[in-house]
Every structure is written in C-alpha cells, then in structure tokens.
Structure 1
C-alpha cells in the first residue's frame, strides 16, 4: 500500500517478513520512547517500555507476520503491529509526529484487523490517547501496573468498533 502524503513524498506501508529487520523496529521504538515518554512518565516507566519491546518480542511478531513499517521516501519512520484484535507497538519517529503518519498507519492496521474482527483494541499510552480518541476509539478500561521503585504505569484500554456499533467490552 502506498500513496503520496500531504507533507510531500511517497508513503508506503510494508508487512515485515525478515527477522533481520528487527533492528529497524527496535530503533524506531527506542528513539521514540527515549525522546517522547520522559515528558509523560518517570524513568522507570520509560525503562519498562524499552524492555517490553525487546528484540525477542519483535522477532516473534515478525515471524508471526504481524509487523508493519511505515516508509517515507525510502526511510522507515514508523511501525505498528497486531496481535489478535489488538493494535500494538505503534510508534512514529518524533520528527515525523503531528503530520498524519500515525493516523495513516493505524487506519491500515484497522483495515487488516477488520478482515477478521468487528472491533479493535489498543493499550494506549498517555502520549497516544488523544490520537486514538480522534480516530474514534473510546476508553473501556483504565489500567495500572506497579513497576520498580514505586513507579506506576497508567494506561487506557481503548476500543473502536469497526462495524459502527458502540464501543463496549
């Protein structure tokens, strides 16, 4: 899937098949988490996200055929994954955020999931909640996870009905 984007340049979404591409995914996630998340979370939460999106997990998702990259003019600028009816690991490099790239990627992942499911779930971090709300997602559950040094990760479980019905779990 490709198109020209309003910001200029060719935009493509590719399903990643080669395990050797895991380093590209890790780089996008790592750079984004390190630059964006400290504005929203304490260091323990930032560390949690970096460890959570380990190379092992990324490679498993690639092997399962569940990882996509967003490519702008030949450069990978974002990534997103799916797991059952969940959209996971959506990250756009900080310098490309705010230009509609995240929306473009999420819509592609929704389309993919819409082949099998009537609704989509996301575990939305604080930096992403507003974007998901703009895209029609609604919070169905608030979650908290205790981490080291009494830090707490707070996030929203959000749902979007692909069949036009109300979001409810």
Structure 2
C-alpha cells in the first residue's frame, strides 16, 4: 500500500469533507452521542473545509488518487486528523502525523499540541503525546495533549 502525503488543494475539499464525516459517523460515534457528532459534522462541510485550507496547512493522504485521510497544522496545534475507518490501523495516521511533525519542526516549533477526541487519545499517546488536561465544551470532552519535538 503506497500512501501519498501531499498538501491539500481547494479541489480536495469535497473528498476531505466526506472522509471526515464518514469517520465521525463510524469511529467517533462510539464515544460521543449523536447530537455532538452532528454539531461537529456541521464544521466540516466542503465550504468550511475551503475556509480551513486558507487558514491552516492541510495535508491529505491518498491511495490510488483517493483521499483516505487528512490532518492539519494551525501554528503549533494539530487539528482535524481523520482517517477513513476502512484504512484505520494501517499506518496512514502515523504517516500523516510524521509529516505534520516535520512541518511543525520546519516552522521552528519545539512543542506540538493536539486537542484529542476521546476516540483518538490512545493513537496520540502511541505517538508520544502526553495528556495535559481535559476540556469540556458543554458535554463534549476534549483531551489536550502535547509532545516535545526533537530532531
């Protein structure tokens, strides 16, 4: 399986949106109630993805020209890491995070933070991120995690 990691283009917005929504409905729905999933989905329509592409460094992972994952870097914060459930556990997320960490180091950051979902906490911990604290947005729990970057 040869995954290509690349900078997202505007034309990728619909596929990015589709990947995120599928992941939220299939993976995150095990840890969050439907009202929270629906609220989060509202943030990832193709038009809102286009706005994010202008504000952050967004990467996509593609397999045979099909986008199967995405992640973004907003200064020193990792955001919107989603891997299509059909491709989870195959190293795609790890490859994306390696690229995100390289972007952060190239930008001069020494600490990388991530607001993790309950669903992804174990994934980030396996990459060396440590829990800093919990945050709650109404009843939605987010785990703030951080990792020191070293070359």
TM-score range, shorter chain: over 0.9
1:109 to 2:96 alignment: no
Q: What stretches of structure 1 of length at least 5 have no aligned partner?
A: 1-8, 147-151, 165-169
Aligned residues between the structures:
150
Which of the two has greater helix per residue?
2
Deviations 1:25-84 (A, max 9, x none): 101001110111221111111112101224343112222461111012322110111111
Separation in 2, partners of 1:63, 1:16: 10
Q: State the match for 1:162 in structure 2.
A: 149
Quick check: 1:81 aligned with 2:68?
no
Unaligned runs of 5+ in 2: none
* Secondary structure at the counterpart of residue 114 of structure 1: helix
**Structure with the greater alpha carbon radius of gyration:** 1
TM-score of the pair, normalised by structure 1? 0.83
Residue 91 of structure 1 and its aligned partner are, at CA, apart by 0.5
Moved over 6 A (4+): none
- Write the distance in 2 (CA, Å) between the matches of 1:11 and 1:20: 19
| In 2: Cα distance, 1:133 partner to 1:21 partner | 29
What CA RMSD, in Å, does the superposition of the two structures yield over aligned residues? Answer: 1.5
State the alpha-carbon separation in 1 of the partners of residues 31 and 84 from structure 2: 16
